Amino acid sequence: MAEPMPDLPETTLDAPLLPDGLARIATQGTPCPTPVFRQSHLHRLADRWTHLLFLACTLLVVLLIGGILYFLAARGAGAFFPLAGNTDKVVTFREVFLSTNWDPGDGHFGIVPFIAGTLAVTGLALLVAAPTGVLTGVFIAKVAPPWMRNVMRQVMDLLVGIPSVVYGIFGLTIILPMVGHAWLADAPAAGFAVSAAILAVMIVPTVVSLSTDAFESLPSSLDEGSQALGSTRWQAIWRVLIPAARPRLLTATVLGLGRAIGEAMAVQMVIGNNPQWMLLMRQATDQTPVLRFLFTPAATLTTELVQELPNTASGSTWNNVLFAMGLLLYLMTMLLILATRRLGRQEHA
């Protein structure tokens, strides 16, 4: 017998199935020609246990998600509760989340200006990036000739690869002076408008690449069907393709939003870093509130962290509130990721 299977009782089989009139000899193995191969013991052991190593790597990622949450929450909580290691007074949630007054020297820790700043700058950026990104996606997937498709892919790859500080320095040394001279006489140009413009360029590749995928994954029968009915190409895009790709387009936008919310350095370099921007807006009396809003030096959650964290003592209320802001950012991204999950389910439904 060739290569015996591990010791096992012989199987009891029913009588052999015989085509009519054929004699059979008993079940028996044929001699096996040399050489006989066997997996070495080591290979078997490795095969049995290495997946635990891979699992450990995966669990590390899970652990990191929890770890980040834990450490940020532990430090952030110090602002509100008298925990060990606290060297400073505590503040109430009200004083932090509902107040627009940020004046840490004076004991005021209202972070509304930063939340509002983050919403304003990301909202403005999205206003530009979402429609242009989706349209560029349509362009790449359905309209552009192949060579232009390649060019656009390259352009997006390069845009996404440029570091935030380089975007920042570009805004600071090239855009700000330009805008300042042209539109605003001598007023400083720093603020939401320029930050949002730069942010829009930074997140557009994310929106473009995901919406290109969305349009490319639609069956080509969809727009062919529509155009066969005599719709123009644009009607096919607007009435058939965009609605069909909607969940994934929204996902693209949400992920773009996530990137925008988290961006720190580029915005910090051009936004002007004024925590009191809401106060300034309120006191302003000129005729053009929109222009004022767009060009008032302001601040966001991320920029304020970059700006102030290095200057605060660990354990102080100030420092703890900053960590609470970090926690808020983290929770926002988690929420956005969960939102993309929802959208993903919608797509399959």
Partner 1 sequence: MLSPQTPETKPVKLSVRNLDFRYGEKKVLDGLSMDIHAERVTAIIGPSGCGKSTFLKCFNRIHEVSSAVQVSGQMAMDGVDIYRGGIDQVDLRRRVGMVFQKPNPFPKSIYENVAFGPRLFGVRDRATLDGLVEDALRKSALWDEVKDRLKESATGMSGGQQQRLCIARALAVNPEVLLMDEPCSALDPIATAKIEDLIGELKENLTIVIVTHNMQQAARVSDYTAFFWLGKLIEMDLTERIFTTPRERMTEDYITGRFG
Partner 2 sequence: MTSRVPAFKVRATARVADRAMHLALWLIALTFVAVLIGFVGGILKEGWSELNLGFLTRMPEALDAGGGIKPELFNSLYLVALSLALAMPIGLGAGIYMAEYAGQGRALRFFRLCVETLAATPSIVLALFGMILLVQMLGWSFSIRSGAVTLALLNIPVITRVTEESLRGVPRELLEASYGLGATKLQTILKVALPYAATGILTGVVLTAGRAFGESAILVFTAGTNVSQHFPDFRLSVPGETLSVHLWYVTSDGTLPDATQIAAGTAAVMILVLLALNLLVRLLDRAIRRRTR
Q: Does 163 bind partner 2 (CB under 8 A)?
A: yes
Among 12, 37, 221, 311, binds partner 2 (CB under 8 A): 37
Q: From the CA atom positions of the chain, what is the Rg in Å?
A: 31
Letters for 143-162 (x = contact with partner 2 by CB under 8 A, - = none) are xx---x--xx--xxxxx-xx
Q: Smallest distance, Å, CB 348 to partner 1? A: 18
- Residues in 63-122 that interact with partner 2 by CB under 8 A: 64-65, 67-68, 71-72, 75
Q: Smallest distance, Å, CB 253 to partner 2? A: 14
Q: Percentage helix, strand, coil, to 5, in the chain?
A: 70, 0, 30
* Collapsed DSSP state (helix, strand, coil) of residue 298: strand
Nearer to partner 1, 38 or 94 (CB): 38
> Segment contacting partner 2 (CB under 8 A): 8-16, 42-50, 91-99, 106-114?
42-50
Beta bridge partners of 108: 103
Nearer to partner 2, 71 or 183 (CB): 71
In this structure, are residues 208 and 217 in contact, taking their beta carbons and an 8 Å threshold?
no
- Total Cβ atoms within 10 A of residue 285: 7
Residues comprising the chain, all counted: 349
In this structure, are residues 91 and 110 in contact, taking their beta carbons and an 8 Å threshold?
no
Residue 261 touches which of partner 2, partner 1, none (CB < 5 to 8 A by kind)?
partner 2
Chain residues in the site for partner 1 (CB under 8 A): 1-3, 5-6, 8, 10-11, 13-14, 16-17, 19, 21-30, 32-40, 43-44, 47
Q: Does 185 bind partner 2 (CB under 8 A)?
A: no
In this structure, are residues 267 and 77 in contact, taking their beta carbons and an 8 Å threshold?
no
Q: Smallest distance, Å, CB 151 to partner 1? A: 31
Contacts with 201 (C-beta within 8 Å, 6 or more apart), sequence order: 129, 159, 167
